[in-house]
Structure 1
């Protein structure tokens, strides 16, 4: 059965925080500076605030009456003259998570496609996302969906 992609509702909050926590725990295995599931509610509230302040969407994949995954993005604009004006406004995906039992069923791809469709309908011509350097699986999925490296953020622990 194909999941239904829809905008998140207030009743989804606990499922979304659970999925955010699973994403946090997954990322702690890749990058030591990542917060674990205990920070999920705080991060979720931050994302909600960003969506409210900047515009954007939180979409869920509902399968068999339960939230199986989500994606959220905001609308942003590059500052200054280093990017041509027609390319400054874009969507930024902040988080995407699919519950473990639903992985490998194309739900992440459905969520990406839905976000792209929603963003395009809002007049956005580009969508960006961050992915941890050590998350090879996500990088592969994004490349297969047509994403490419745009910038590289480098860090050095002191």
Structure 2
């Protein structure tokens, strides 16, 4: 039996691993913001916020992460200021414009998740479910009423998991012509009310 634990944050030695998981999971959506894969991966690794992330470890190695929004920032700080720290002005403008389409906002009394990523070697091992459990407990501990997440139309497996876990659709959207650029068209916003 492999030892598994989930805690808030990661250390600097884990930053590259956490950033790589996040980039792998959201590459298609994030890629239009950057000139190439290497730049995107470098920016995402630098942008990871340890204080906005639940990290699942198996035998001491990062196996999955769940980001969330808090105090105006998500798991990856891709603000103009953060982008300018690692990109020249022109590339930062491009990235900022491309990323603005994907932006989400915090909501009062809700924990808004900013992506769940599980290493491919651990998919099917219950890591995603354990991260959802941890996120829900984190929200309860802070007196929040619900957890919110979004899922794209090209990820039916995740949508099924969320529905099984009690998440219900509260909104839907579409990118229209931009769907071709970002690799998905439709998305569903789902909430789970938390028991008091």
**TM-score bucket (shorter structure):** 0.7 to 0.9
> Which residue matches 1:107?
127
Give the whole-Å Cα distance in 2 for the aligned partners of 1:127 and 1:41. 30
CA-based RMSD of the aligned residues comes to: 2.4
Structure 1 stretches (4+) deviating beyond 4 angstroms?
44-47
> Which residue matches 1:144?
164
Q: Which runs of 5 or more residues in structure 1 are unaligned?
A: 78-86
Contact 1:75–1:90 at 8 Å: present in 2 too? no
Count residues with an aligned counterpart. Answer: 137
Give the whole-Å Cα distance in 2 for the aligned partners of 1:110 and 1:37. 30
Q: Which runs of 5 or more residues in structure 2 are unaligned?
A: 73-106, 179-196
2:62 to 59, 63, 67: 67
* 41 and 120 in structure 1: CA distance in 2 versus 1, 3 angstrom threshold: farther
* 93 and 106 in structure 1: CA distance in 2 versus 1, 3 angstrom threshold: same
* 99 and 37 in structure 1: CA distance in 2 versus 1, 3 angstrom threshold: farther
> Which residue matches 1:84?
none
> Which residue matches 2:173?
153
Which deviations, in whole Å up to 9, do the C-alpha atoms of 1:21-64 show, x marking residues without a partner? 22024xx3xxxx5428542443455563xx8xxxx731111101
Contact 2:15–2:48 at 8 Å: present in 1 too? no
Q: What's the TM-score, normalizing by structure 1?
A: 0.75
Q: Residue 111 of structure 2 aligns to a residue in which SS?
A: strand
> Which residue matches 1:24?
26
Q: Write the mapping of 1:4-153 to structure 2, written as runs, cut at 5 A.
A: 4-10=5-11, 11-25=13-27, 28=28, 34-35=30-31, 38=38, 39-43=40-44, 45-46=46-47, 48=49, 57-75=52-70, 88-153=108-173
> Which residue matches 2:190?
none
Q: Residue 108 of structure 1 aligns to a residue in which SS?
A: helix
Contact 1:22–1:37 at 8 Å: present in 2 too? no
